[in-house]
Structure 1
Amino acid sequence: MKKQENLTKTKDSDALGSMPETASAAYADRSRLLTAFDHFASAVTRWAGTPVAFCFALACVLVWAATGPMFSFSENWQLVINTGTTIVTFLMVFLIQQSQNKDSVALHLKLNELLAASKSASNRMIGIEELDEEQLRAVAAFYVNLANRARDHGDSQKVHSIDEAGTGGTSPLAAERLSCRR
């Protein structure tokens, strides 16, 4: 019965290997395989950024270069380094992307907590990363106008929120969300 409930909660975006949305409880409910891959990806990306990893890669290139005269700098000799670097790069892209996705979700969750805990911040900003680019540009324009208003009126220490846009009580964020529903 519980498996049936879990299956009905699954959306297309929760496919195997995909990162759940920031606001999703599915982020905390992951399979052992995904958790193991996450730990593996984190460990590899941490190791790949160390001086030891760089020295290992440099040593591989130096050994390859030193063997060039033995193989008369043949096409097969060149193919070895090309194939090796392509495979390593291809696999590292996925491992690094996994780690970046996890870090991005964690950062969004931390920011959401700060927004929710702050009395002067708008809770509408929580989950704003789900807006499309046009909606984000409208919100960014609000903050540019807010900065210009603060500079022009000298109220740089005054607390403002996206909830007070001065447009009849409707913030650009609310206006964008309303226009998307129509």
Structure 2
Amino acid sequence: MTPAKKNTLFTRFAKWTSRITGQPGAFAVATATLVVWALSGPFFGFSDTWQLIINTGTTIVTFLMVFLIQNTQNRDSEAIHVKLDELIRSTRGANNQLLDLEELEVEELDKLRDEYEALAEKARSSIKKRKSVKAR
């Protein structure tokens, strides 16, 4: 399977937006906007309209960015799950029960995590015992 060369318009826009807004320059622009707005306060007499402009602008940007960020996060998460599933599937001796863990309920995930934590503790105890035998 090869990656699709043509993404939907929304996917291309979401990727572009997340790339651009994740740059230091985007933070600088946002900061500069707030500084200009704050400095313009005395000129506008710190009016309700002056306050409404920044409140409305930030609310709109935040509202839209939530959806773009969620779209990007969902795609990244799905890709990571598929890659991890492939690594588990292709590794000899791997526990294939771990494929598609993201589909389990929280209680089932907690039970599996507890089992793996117990295995890890057992392995650490074994290492400590070997180190103490070697030190003698």
2:27 is equivalent to residue 54 of structure 1: yes
Residue 125 of structure 1, CA deviation:
0.9
1:105 alignment partner in structure 2: 78
TM-score (norm 2): 0.85
Residue 112 of structure 1, CA deviation:
0.5
Residue 153 of structure 1, CA deviation:
3.0
Residue 38 of structure 1, CA deviation:
1.4
1:2-31 CA deviation, whole Å, 9 max, x = no partner? xxxxxxxxxxxxxxxxxxxxxxxxxx99xx
2:127 is equivalent to residue 127 of structure 1: no
Give the 4+ runs in structure 1 shifted more than 4 A: none
Count matched residues: 125
**One-letter code of the match for 1:52?**
G
Distance 1:113 1:39 in 2: 26
**One-letter code of the match for 2:13?**
F
Unaligned runs of 5+ in 2: 129-136
Residue 66 of structure 1, CA deviation:
2.0
- 1:151 equivalent among 124, 130, 134: 124
What value does the CA root-mean-square deviation take over the aligned residues? 1.9
Which one has a larger percent helix, Structure 1 or Structure 2? Answer: 2
Unaligned runs of 5+ in 1: 1-27, 156-182
Change in Cα spacing, 1:63 to 1:154, as seen in structure 2 (3 Å) is closer
TM-score (norm 1): 0.64
Distance 2:46 2:39 in 1: 10
1:20 alignment partner in structure 2: none
**One-letter code of the match for 1:139?**
L
1:79 alignment partner in structure 2: 52
Residue 35 of structure 1, CA deviation:
2.2
**One-letter code of the match for 1:104?**
S
